[in-house]
C-alpha cells in the first residue's frame, strides 16, 4: 500500500480529534449569553452583569474566529502534503490547490455540497487574519448572514469606529459546518476500505 493512500484517513481523524478535543472542549468552557440589555440600568449589579455578558460574548466570538483560522490553516497544510505526495505543483493559490486535490481524489465538490463551506471557511480565515479588504468584501457578499445579529447578543467592546471585519460573527454552528466539510472532503477522497464519508461529529 502506498503511504500517500493513507493520508486522507489520517487527516480526517486528526481534524476530527482537533475539533472534538480542542475546539468543542474549549467552547464548552466559554459562557455565551442571549440578548444584551441596552439603556439605563436600575442597579449597579445589573450594569456590571450586562458588562460581563458583553465581554463573555465578545471573547467567545473571538475564540470561534480564531478556531476558524486555525482549522483552515490545518486543512491547507493537509492539502499541500497530499498534493505533494502526488507530485503535483500548484503554487500558492488556495482555490487551485483545492481543485487539484479534488481532481486527484475524483471528487466533485459541487455535487457533494462541500465547495461553498470550504470556500467560506477560507474567506473567514483571511478576514480574521487580515481584517478589511478583498476577502472581507467577498465574504460579506457571499455570506451576509455572518454579519447579521438579530438576537442582539454581540457588541464590539473596542473603543472607536468598528471596522466591517470586526463585526464578523462566526457562530458555533458555522464552525461545525466548516469542520464537517473538511471531514467529508477527506472521507470522500479516501480510497481505503470502509471510508467514513459522513463521519459523526
The closest alpha carbon to 189, from 1, 52, 22, 7, belongs to 7
| C-alpha cell recorded at residue 181 | 466539510
Question: How many residues in the chain?
Answer: 201
Q: Average pLDDT of each block of 10 consecutive residues along the chain (201 residues)?
A: 86 96 95 80 82 87 96 97 90 92 92 91 97 95 88 76 90 95 95 85 68
Model pLDDT, residue 150 = 67
Model pLDDT, residue 63 = 96
101-104: long-range contacts, CB 8 A cutoff, minimum separation 24: 101/189, 102/185, 102/189, 104/189
Model pLDDT, residue 178 = 97
Is the distance from CB of 178 to CB of 199 less than 8 angstroms?
no
3-state helix, strand, coil in the chain (%, to 5): 65, 0, 35
* Contacts with 29 (C-beta within 8 Å, 6 or more apart), sequence order: none
Distance CA 171, CA 117 (A): 14
Distance CA 165, CA 6 (A): 38
**Residue 72 burial by CB count (10 A; 0-12/13-18/19+): exposed, middle or buried?**
buried
Specify the residue for cell string 487539484. Answer: 100
Burial 123-135 (b: 16+ CB within 10 A, else e): bbbbbbeeeeeeb
Amino acid at each position: 500500500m502506498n503511504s500517500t493512500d493513507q493520508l486522507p484517513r489520517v487527516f480526517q481523524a486528526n481534524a476530527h480529534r482537533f475539533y472534538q478535543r480542542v475546539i468543542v472542549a474549549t467552547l464548552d468552557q466559554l459562557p455565551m449569553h442571549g440578548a444584551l440589555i441596552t439603556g439605563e440600568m436600575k442597579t449597579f449589579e445589573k450594569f456590571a452583569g450586562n458588562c460581563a455578558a458583553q465581554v463573555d460574548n465578545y471573547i467567545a466570538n473571538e475564540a470561534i474566529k480564531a478556531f476558524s483560522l486555525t482549522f483552515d490553516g490545518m486543512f491547507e497544510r493537509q492539502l499541500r502534503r497530499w498534493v505533494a505526495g502526488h507530485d503535483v505543483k500548484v503554487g500558492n493559490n488556495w482555490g487551485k490547490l483545492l481543485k487539484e486535490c479534488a481532481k486527484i481524489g475524483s471528487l466533485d465538490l459541487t455535487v457533494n455540497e462541500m465547495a461553498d463551506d470550504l470556500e467560506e471557511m477560507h474567506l473567514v480565515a483571511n478576514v480574521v487574519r487580515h481584517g478589511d479588504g478583498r476577502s472581507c468584501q467577498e465574504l460579506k457578499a457571499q455570506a451576509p448572514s455572518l454579519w447579521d445579529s438579530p438576537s442582539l447578543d454581540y457588541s464590539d467592546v473596542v473603543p472607536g469606529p468598528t471596522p466591517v471585519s470586526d463585526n464578523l460573527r462566526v457562530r458555533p454552528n458555522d464552525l461545525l459546518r466548516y469542520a464537517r466539510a473538511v471531514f467529508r472532503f477527506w472521507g470522500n477522497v479516501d480510497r481505503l476500505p470502509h471510508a467514513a464519508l459522513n463521519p459523526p461529529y
